[in-house]
Structure 1
Amino acid sequence: MSSEELEKYEAEMELQLYREYRDVIGLFSYVVETERRFYLTNQVDLQSRSTDNGEMYFEVTMEDAWVWDMYRPARFVRNVRVVTFKDVNVEEITKTDFDVPATGSPGPST
């Protein structure tokens, strides 16, 4: 496989992953970003911990999550536990960002 074919394959996989993300984001309440992965989930627990020598780390547990990873054969995961020494970002998704009008076409009414 040439490098050009590999780049094309990865670009297609990334586009397919983005489309899946766009389709499933409305099912979830939280976005969780760690140093290695990006997750969508409805239940997240973030705990800060410290080691015996005083270093701080984070433990994140999630249930029924979707993981952004184009190399995983299955992106829906029942239980996830992440331990990291890097920052973790947890954001609540605003559902109104994804509301679609029930009837009519978008745009100003006349």
Structure 2
Amino acid sequence: MGAEDLENYETEMELQLYREYKDVVNLFSYVVETERRFYLANHVDLQARSSDGEVYFDLTMQDAWVWDVYRTQRFVKTVRVITFKDVNVEELAKSDLLKDSPLGD
């Protein structure tokens, strides 16, 4: 497989992932961004903790979907992330999501 073939393959995988995201985003209540991953989830618990003067974040999500082109199973029941970087959690507005869904106008 040449470099161009590999690039085309990766582009196609990313496009498939984006299409899957558009299909499933209406099923979730939250968007969560960490330094390594992007998630959709229906329950999010984010706790700031400290140990030896260092602050870290303990993030638990339930009923989640993981944006990762290399995962074969992107739906997960429970995800726990420990990170020293910022975590961004946003609640999705259902009215905005319905506009893009087949059920919305």
TM-score range, shorter chain: over 0.9
Q: Tell me the residue number matched to 1:28.
A: 28
- The TM-score normalised by the length of structure 2 is 0.93
Within 2, Cα distance between the matches of 1:95 and 1:19?
19
Within 1, Cα distance between the matches of 2:49 and 2:3?
43
**Greater helix proportion:** 2
Q: Tell me the residue number matched to 2:74.
A: 75
Q: Tell me the residue number matched to 1:42.
A: 42
- The TM-score normalised by the length of structure 1 is 0.89
Q: Tell me the residue number matched to 1:96.
A: 95
**Is 1:17 the equivalent of 2:12?**
no
Within 2, Cα distance between the matches of 1:21 and 1:75?
10
Q: Which runs of 5+ in 1 are unaligned?
A: 102-110
Q: Which has the larger radius of gyration?
A: 1
Identity, % of aligned positions? 71
AA in 2 matched with 1:89: N
Shift of 1:37: 0.2
**Greater strand proportion:** 2
CA RMSD in angstroms, aligned pairs only? 0.6
- Report how many residues are paired: 100
Shift of 1:98: 2.0
Q: Tell me the residue number matched to 2:55.
A: 56
